[in-house]
């Protein structure tokens, strides 16, 4: 193995909340998601397998055949009091404030800025030893990792779409990260 860290981030499989347009709770992967995850065969070799602590990431990792260790730094963006609530049930002003100001954390949630800081800590810890890491996590965490790798502005967070079971690969060598897709 060279001095490269290869970090492959896998978005968890489909859940009923995703299908219904609700903010996530700690729900399981649905039947469609389990079938789709079972069909994934091309993750590549990994020295380390990690996942977020939520049920949907642990189930996805298991369906992918990974013996993944939960890492709290890979937890989903905390939506606070909006857990399980449909988007159309949220006060439009509060929702607009949250998605336009990355430092805002209404309804007891985590701000995008706080998520970026947490994911940045995870990415710095990943660079300690050259290795191949596969991490099953959440779209929000993957968005934050992409912004961190590219040193992109936080306001770009909501402009990145991450599909269920999509893979994003980042390489770290020398001074920084590169995105490889």
For residue range 70-107, list pLDDT tens digits in order: 999 999 999 999 999 999 999 999 889 888 999 998 78
Residue ranges and CATH numbers for the domains of the chain are 5-180 (3.40.50.1240)
pLDDT at 179: 94
For residue range 137-176, list pLDDT tens digits in order: 999 999 999 999 999 999 999 999 999 999 999 999 988 9
pLDDT at 76: 97
pLDDT at 2: 64
Whether the predicted model's global pTM rises above the 0.85 cut: yes
Task: Give one DSSP letter per residue of the chain, joined into a string.
Answer: --S-EEEEEEEPPPBHHHHHTB---SPPB-HHHHHHHHT-------SEEEE-SSHHHHHHHHHTT--PEE-GGGPPPP-GGGTT-BGGGS-HHHHHHHHH-TT--GGG---HHHHHHHHHHHHHHHTSS--EEEEEE-HHHHHHHHHHHHT--GGGGGG----TT-EEEEEEETTEEEEE-
**pLDDT above 90 coverage of the chain, percent:** 83
């Amino acid at each position: 193995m060279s001095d490269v860290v290869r970090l492959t981030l896998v978005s968890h499989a489909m859940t009923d909340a995703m299908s219904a347009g609700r903010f996530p709770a700690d729900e399981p992967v649905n039947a469609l998601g389990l079938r789709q995850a079972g069909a994934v065969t091309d993750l590549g070799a990994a020295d380390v397998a990690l996942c977020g602590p939520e049920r949907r990431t642990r189930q996805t990792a298991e369906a992918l055949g990974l013996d993944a260790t939960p890492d709290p730094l890979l937890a989903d963006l905390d939506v606070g009091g909006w857990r399980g609530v449909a988007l159309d049930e949220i006060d439009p002003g509060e929702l607009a404030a949250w998605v336009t100001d990355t430092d805002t954390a209404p309804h007891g949630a985590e701000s995008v800025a706080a998520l970026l800081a947490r994911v940045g800590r995870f990415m710095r810890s990943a660079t300690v030893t050259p290795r191949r890491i596969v991490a099953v996590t959440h779209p929000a965490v993957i968005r934050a990792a992409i912004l961190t790798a590219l040193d992109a502005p936080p306001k770009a967070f909501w402009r990145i779409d991450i599909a269920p079971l999509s893979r994003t690969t980042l390489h770290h060598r020398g001074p920084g990260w590169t995105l490889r897709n």
